[in-house]
C-alpha cells in the first residue's frame, strides 16, 4: 500500500505523538536530552561526542546502552532537516537494549541512512551473540543486494520479505507483522505480504546497529534518526499517522 502522505498531511497531524499508539520502544536522536555519555546517565552528549546511553521515550525503560567506549556511536548535530542523528561507523559500533522481549506481532519504523558498502548494515535486530537464532522483531538492510530485509522467525535464514531501497539518503523503513504475514515498506510503499513463522523467545539480546557482534559485515554504517517499535501490528490508518509524523519531522519525501 502506498499511503500517499505529504508534508501537508503531516502538518494537519502536528499534534500527533507516537505515545498515543503505546510504543514498546522509542529512540529519538533529535531529542538531545535522551543522549548521555555514561550507561547510567552522566552528562548529556555534545555534538560529535560518543553515545553511551540512548534513552527510551516510550516510558518502558528500554534504554539502549554501550559500556565499551570504542563501540559507541556518535551524536551528529543538524544532519537531517536541521535535526541530530546517531552515527554508526560500520566497524564496531552498536547499542544493546536493557530489556529483551518477544513480539508476537509488531510494527517497527526506522528513519535512517546507510552508506553504500557491501555490508549487511543492520539497523535493529536481535538474536544470540553469534548472530544465529534471530527470533524477535527485525528490521535491517543487506548492502550488496540493496534491499530492505525483515524477518520474524526462529532461524537465521532471510529474507522473508524484501523491497528495494537506496543508499546514502534518509528513508522511513517499516516492518509490519500481523501474526501470519510480514510486510516491509520504504517511504510508504509496501512489499508484497509474505507468510512467515511466529515462534520466538523472550531471552534473546536486542541490538541497535549490529546483526552479529563478531562479524564486521553485519555492522551498521550510517545514521539512525529515530526508531519506533509498536508491540502490535498497526492498522493502515495508524501506520499512515506514524509515517506522516516521521515524514514531517525529518522531511524524507
How far is Cα 39 from Cα 24, in angstroms, rounded to an integer? 20
How far is Cα 176 from Cα 66, in angstroms, rounded to an integer? 27
* Spatial CA neighbour of 221 closest among 138, 117, 142, 134: 117
Other CB atoms within 10 Å distance of the CB of residue 232? 18
DSSP label of 173: E
How far is Cα 150 from Cα 145, in angstroms, rounded to an integer? 14
Domain boundaries, the chain: 7-30+80-250
Class of the CATH domain delimited by 7-30+80-250:
mainly beta
Q: What is the pLDDT of residue 12?
A: 39
Higher pLDDT: 157 or 214? It is 214
How far is Cα 173 from Cα 224, in angstroms, rounded to an integer? 11
Q: How confident is the model at residue 224 (pLDDT cuts 50, 70, 90)?
A: very high
Which of 23-37, 101-115, 147-161, 210-224 shows the lowest mean pLDDT across its residues? 147-161
Q: What is the pLDDT of residue 150?
A: 75
Q: How confident is the model at residue 11 (pLDDT cuts 50, 70, 90)?
A: very low
Q: What is the pLDDT of residue 207?
A: 86
**163, 178 contact by CB (below 8 A):** no
Please check the confidence at residue 202 and state whether its pLDDT lies above 60.
no
- Provide Rg for the chain, Cα atoms: 16
Higher pLDDT: 155 or 84? It is 84
pLDDT in tens, 141-168: 776 667 887 765 554 455 467 788 888 9
Pairing mode, strands 221-230 and 106-114: antiparallel
Q: Which residue has the cell 510486510?
A: 183
Distances from the Cα of 73 to the Cαs of 96, 99, 152, 187, in angstroms?
12, 20, 26, 25
Residue 228 pairs with which residues in a beta bridge? 26, 109
Q: Which residue has the cell 508491540?
A: 231
Please check the confidence at residue 177 and state whether its pLDDT lies above 90.
no
* Spatial CA neighbour of 80 closest among 221, 187, 224: 224
Q: pTM here? A: 0.89
Amino acid at each position: 500500500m502506498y499511503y500517499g502522505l505529504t508534508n501537508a498531511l503531516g502538518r494537519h497531524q502536528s499534534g500527533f505523538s507516537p505515545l498515543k499508539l503505546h510504543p514498546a520502544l522509542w529512540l529519538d536522536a533529535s531529542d538531545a536530552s535522551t543522549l548521555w555519555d555514561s550507561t547510567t546517565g552522566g552528562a548529556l552528549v555534545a555534538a560529535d561526542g560518543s553515545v553511551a546511553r540512548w534513552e527510551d521515550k516510550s516510558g518502558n525503560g528500554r534504554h539502549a546502552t554501550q559500556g565499551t567506549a570504542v563501540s559507541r556511536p556518535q551524536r551528529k548535530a543538524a544532519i537531517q532537516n536541521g535535526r541530530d542523528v546517531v552515527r554508526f561507523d560500520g566497524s564496531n559500533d552498536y547499542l544493546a537494549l536493557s530489556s529483551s522481549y518477544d513480539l508476537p506481532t509488531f510494527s517497527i519504523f526506522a528513519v535512517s541512512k546507510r552508506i553504500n558498502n557491501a555490508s549487511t548494515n543492520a539497523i535493529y535486530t536481535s538474536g544470540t551473540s553469534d548472530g544465529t537464532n534471530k527470533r524477535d522483531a527485525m528490521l535491517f538492510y543487506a548492502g550488496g543486494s540493496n534491499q530492505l530485509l525483515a524477518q520474524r522467525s526462529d532461524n537465521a535464514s532471510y529474507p522473508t520479505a524484501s523491497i528495494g531501497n537506496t543508499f546514502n539518503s534518509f528513508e522511513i523503513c517499516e516492518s509490519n507483522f500481523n501474526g501470519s504475514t510480514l510486510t516491509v515498506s520504504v517511504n510508504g510503499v509496501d512489499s508484497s505480504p509474505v507468510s512467515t513463522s511466529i515462534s520466538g523467545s523472550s531471552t534473546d539480546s536486542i541490538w541497535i546497529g549490529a546483526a552479529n557482534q563478531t562479524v564486521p559485515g553485519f555492522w551498521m554504517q550510517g545514521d539512525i534518526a529515530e526508531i519506533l517499535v509498536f508491540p502490535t501490528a498497526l492498522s493502515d490508518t495508524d501506520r499512515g499517522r506514524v509515517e506522516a509524523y516521521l515524514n514531517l519531522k525529518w522531511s524524507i519525501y
